[in-house]
Structure 1
Amino acid sequence: MKMLLSFLAYLLCFDASAQIKVNSGHRYLEDSNGKPFFWMGDTAWELLHRLNRDETELYLETRRRQGFNVIQLVALAFANEDDNRKPNRYGDFPFVNHDPSQVAITPGQTPANPNEYDYWDHVDFVMQTAARKGMYIAFNPTWGDQVSHHWSADGVIFNEQNARTYGQFLGKRYASQWNIIWVLGGDCPPIYKTKDGKHYDDRPVWRALAAGIKTGEGSRRHLMTYHPKGATSSSQLLHGESWLDMNAFQSGHGSRDVDAWNWVTRDLGRQPPKPTLDMEPCYEDHPINPWDGKWTRQRGYFRAYDIRSRLYRSVFAGMCGFTYGHQQVWQFLDTTRFKPLSVGDTLIGWQRALHAEAAGEVQYLKRLMLSRPYFSRIPDQQLIVSEKGHDYRDLIVATRDSMGSYAMIYLPQSRPVTIDMSKLSGKEKRAWWYNPRTGHSQNASEKVVNDALTVTPPTLDNDQTPTDWVLVIDDAAKKYKRL
């Protein structure tokens, strides 16, 4: 009994302190104690539909050990992939007769009893398992194809009335679930014109869903955002919505030359200010632009370097975190059960793909960002006085503390760079190199000349692939720890 009471006290404490919100500076996120929260997400869209309890435990524990703290998933399977007409792994559906106003709930919740364990009991299990591991669920109530006419395969099922009812059900059921973040949308534009020339504005439906959630939550308050169509941001058509706490965009999987860092600058420049995040960047091992029917291995896949270079640049430009994704993990690829979606000519399988190269590397970005004063960090390209580069191949991106106590410069290649040291505080500076592939560091021994520091990144022997580095410069008097 004593152990049980201690555990319940721990949960109550966790519940009171763990919910995240927008920081007063309107760029970053914090918990209720005011501590920085750096969003390190993974896309697991089909988890609720395609995994059983044991597989869910394996997936979440692997991602926890890799440093992830947000898992992005969707309540309903993707209708455009013919999954929404199929039951989950336990033979259950979320609704009665595919009607969002009639959630399919049965008495009891015993997993071993199929008459008790329903679809929403399984959702509860996933939420609670993630909470036990200290992880948030970025919960999408419905993918966009259930609302949007622009690409729905089976026809939309939501309108203002049943969206509000469904939202109330979700808000009430998960009001006390501390580790939830609401994500409306789902790869769809809120305003659009279909191929037959019809114009649609789905914002009333999304507003109704948001309002229903808030009504169901009561006095509770969970962060809410929107997952937009590829190559767009929620800031473009939804920025002024009262329910939208932070923006999100999708830089996507079409090409390597997407300048996502400029999208960050655009979003952060809108009024009123809100944080922003790339909620779906290029997925590791996703074939580059496979939709034109002309994909070959020569066009290739997005690899770990592509992931790192886009994420480091975007975070240095001001994102409040990042989302990682693997093409064969989000769909939990298992050819014995499901048809593969956009995998090129290589089948990895989701369990093996959990350990892909970038999946183990992106935690080093979170670690670096949280190692220095966080809320005072700003982008500053003026730190770079040598050639900055131009695009995804060579662009150097810099960020620093607004008071000048540190600076970080991401270099996509091992080429010299000159930094303006006059913007940094302290008489003595300490410069060091951070390896985005290993999380290890080493000294940068060059000296400052006329308030400028010119350094050349380390090189790796016999490595013909691009080698990226982060140059970190600290005010020595601050005594920041080198990683």
Structure 2
Amino acid sequence: MNRASRTLVLLGCVLATAAACGAAVPAQEPPTGPPAATAPGNVGPLHVQGRFLADESGAPFFWLGDTAWSLPLNLDRDEVVTYLDARAAQGYTVIQAVAIFPQAGGPGPNRQGDDPYKGSLDNLVTTEGADPADDRQYDYWDHVDYVVEQAAQRGLRIALLPVWADDQVGSLLTERNAQAYGEFVGERYGDRVIYVLGGDAPADGVEDIWRTLARGIEQGAGGDVLMTYHPQGDQTSAEWFDDDDWLDVNMIQGGHCRRYDVRRKLVNATFGASSDKPFLDGEPLYENHPWCWKPQDGYSKAVDVRSDAYWSVLGGAFGHTYGHHSVWQFLGTGGRRAELGARGNWEEGLEAEAGVQMGHLRALMESRPYTLGAPADLVSDPGEGAGRIQASQASDGSYLMAYVPQAREFTIDMSGLAGPTARTWWFDPRTGEAVPEAADGPAGERTVDPPDDGDWVFVADDAAWNLPAPGTSVPPARGVTVG
């Protein structure tokens, strides 16, 4: 049967019952999964459990981030709401923004005409009051407050970089002022934000500046807060701070080039770091980004961005950060010129293909007990480069997945499922739809072939779990704890 014909059969299985497609259907168990995630407007602190994060209720937290580095700098109050409304509707959970950003027209003044400091961090510009209708009251930091508050009202957490390391560490931020500045930021935002130190830079030679800043933040916040470090491309925070107590999760930067093997090794090394801390890619390939900053070499496409995301998450990450090249700099505001080969404008960028499709990744993972997943060697010939297949398997044998960036036939070993019978699906990361792969069958080796020439995720469940279709984002049929 050719792929086109088989796709029609599979779609028919979706419209019919599972039994009509030859699947045995166990009695449905009522969902008893983890507690519901924290409601919008009440985004409390997150904490580490094993290789994943959980909120105050104990519900697993999937980090789906967006790089909005210049958000406090380049958007006015109405535009902040427009941006946050869009990302909340698309299923994002974290917004990465920089308090003092030296790019995209920064470090100041912002759209209100306010600067974050005068001369140095020893002289932060703050005023009495915070009335946005009174220019004498509403200052730069009041606007950062507004971003944090508006995000929380929409169920979004701000991952805040106090400074952007590139061009600022060692000059603006120093060993002498890092403690006081950290106390200022920590006292102001407490555990309402996630703190991201660094900013597109290695920490070689300035490790103590970051450690001092981290100590100041925790003292200002009055206790432990969630922190990580954003490194340069092709780097991981584990290189410097893996054993530091203040670093709660590791962050990598996959970068904006076609260095597939480098990215794969970076993910593997960070997952295998000595501390076993959670990790994620905090700056992967941006959508509509020139390859390696060279427009003459072409621009990234949606499938390139999706591949980065699925490779990373099925490689053991607890979430993923997306980015669009015109959105992080909010191109089209303030009459600024494009930087680093960007094109278009930020409002168009909010509707870019892969940016919308990132919500399907979150839905897929939340429809399975994803906190039990870990990378696994299940495919006989995973391939290399842009076509490499990445597989993951739950430690309790409830499910396994394999991301196939370039459709081809492959053989996968499903013997790690807990029961003898596998229920298999094809999940489409472009649409978020899932179709049955075949009737329930033995949980052993099977050769499979995606429905069409796009990228797909093969999902195999232990049939006894009676899990819902991949991507339905309902709690698993049996209770699962994070860890």
Q: Is the TM value for this pair above 0.5?
A: yes
Per the TM alignment, residue 118 of structure 1 is displaced from its structure 2 partner at its CA by 0.6
Per the TM alignment, residue 66 of structure 1 is displaced from its structure 2 partner at its CA by 0.5
Matches within 5 A, 1:25-424: 25=50, 27-78=51-102, 83-84=106-107, 86-95=108-117, 97-148=118-169, 156-175=171-190, 178=192, 180-191=193-204, 201-219=205-223, 221-255=224-258, 257-290=260-293, 295-296=295-296, 299-334=297-332, 337-343=335-341, 347-381=343-377, 383-385=378-380, 387-392=381-386, 394-424=387-417
Task: Give a deviation string over 1:31-62, Cα, whole Å, max 9, x none.
Answer: 12221111100000011111000000000000
1:147–1:202: 8 Å Cα contact kept in structure 2? no
1:256–1:306: 8 Å Cα contact kept in structure 2? no
Q: SS state of the match for residue 248, structure 1?
A: strand
Amino acid at match of 1:126: V
Of 431, 437, 454, the match for 1:438: 431
Counterpart Cα distance in 1 of 2:40 and 2:181? 28
Structure number with the bigger relative contact order (C-alpha 8 A, sep ≥ 6) is: 2
Amino acid at match of 1:169: F
Q: SS state of the match for residue 474, structure 1?
A: strand
Counterpart Cα distance in 2 of 1:82 and 1:98? 17
Counterpart Cα distance in 2 of 1:211 and 1:475? 46
Counterpart Cα distance in 2 of 1:72 and 1:437? 24
Structure 1 gap segments, 5+ residues each: 1-11, 150-155, 192-200, 460-465
Per the TM alignment, residue 326 of structure 1 is displaced from its structure 2 partner at its CA by 0.2
2:98–2:160: 8 Å Cα contact kept in structure 1? yes
1:259–1:391: 8 Å Cα contact kept in structure 2? no
Q: SS state of the match for residue 408, structure 1?
A: strand
Per the TM alignment, residue 112 of structure 1 is displaced from its structure 2 partner at its CA by 1.0
Counterpart Cα distance in 1 of 2:64 and 2:41? 20
Task: Give a deviation string over 1:442-467, Cα, whole Å, max 9, x none.
Answer: 111267579221111101xxxxxx61
Q: SS state of the match for residue 241, structure 2?
A: coil
Per the TM alignment, residue 98 of structure 1 is displaced from its structure 2 partner at its CA by 2.5
Counterpart Cα distance in 2 of 1:112 and 1:119? 14
Structure 2 gap segments, 5+ residues each: 1-37, 471-483
2:130–2:137: 8 Å Cα contact kept in structure 1? yes
Counterpart Cα distance in 1 of 2:179 and 2:286? 33
Structure 1 pair 259/449, CA: closer, same or farther in 2 (3 Å)? farther
Amino acid at match of 1:109: A
1:50–1:89: 8 Å Cα contact kept in structure 2? yes
Amino acid at match of 1:56: V
Quote the residue 1:454 is aligned against: 447
Q: SS state of the match for residue 460, structure 2?
A: strand
Counterpart Cα distance in 2 of 1:14 and 1:59? 16
Counterpart Cα distance in 1 of 2:375 and 2:351? 32
Per the TM alignment, residue 262 of structure 1 is displaced from its structure 2 partner at its CA by 2.9
Counterpart Cα distance in 1 of 2:127 and 2:416? 63
Aligned alpha-carbon RMSD (Å): 2.0
What TM-score results when the alignment is normalised by the length of structure 1?
0.86
The yes-or-no answer on 1:22 pairing with 2:57 is no
| Identical columns (%) | 42
2:422–2:442: 8 Å Cα contact kept in structure 1? no
Q: SS state of the match for residue 362, structure 1?
A: helix
- Structure 1 residue ranges, 4+ long, deviating more than 6 angstroms after superposition: 12-17
Structure 1 pair 204/16, CA: closer, same or farther in 2 (3 Å)? same
Per the TM alignment, residue 411 of structure 1 is displaced from its structure 2 partner at its CA by 1.0
Counterpart Cα distance in 1 of 2:207 and 2:383? 40
1:42–1:323: 8 Å Cα contact kept in structure 2? yes
Q: How many residues align?
A: 433
2:228–2:247: 8 Å Cα contact kept in structure 1? yes
Q: SS state of the match for residue 279, structure 2?
A: coil
Structure 1 pair 262/210, CA: closer, same or farther in 2 (3 Å)? same
Per the TM alignment, residue 161 of structure 1 is displaced from its structure 2 partner at its CA by 2.3
Counterpart Cα distance in 1 of 2:440 and 2:52? 34
Per the TM alignment, residue 277 of structure 1 is displaced from its structure 2 partner at its CA by 0.9
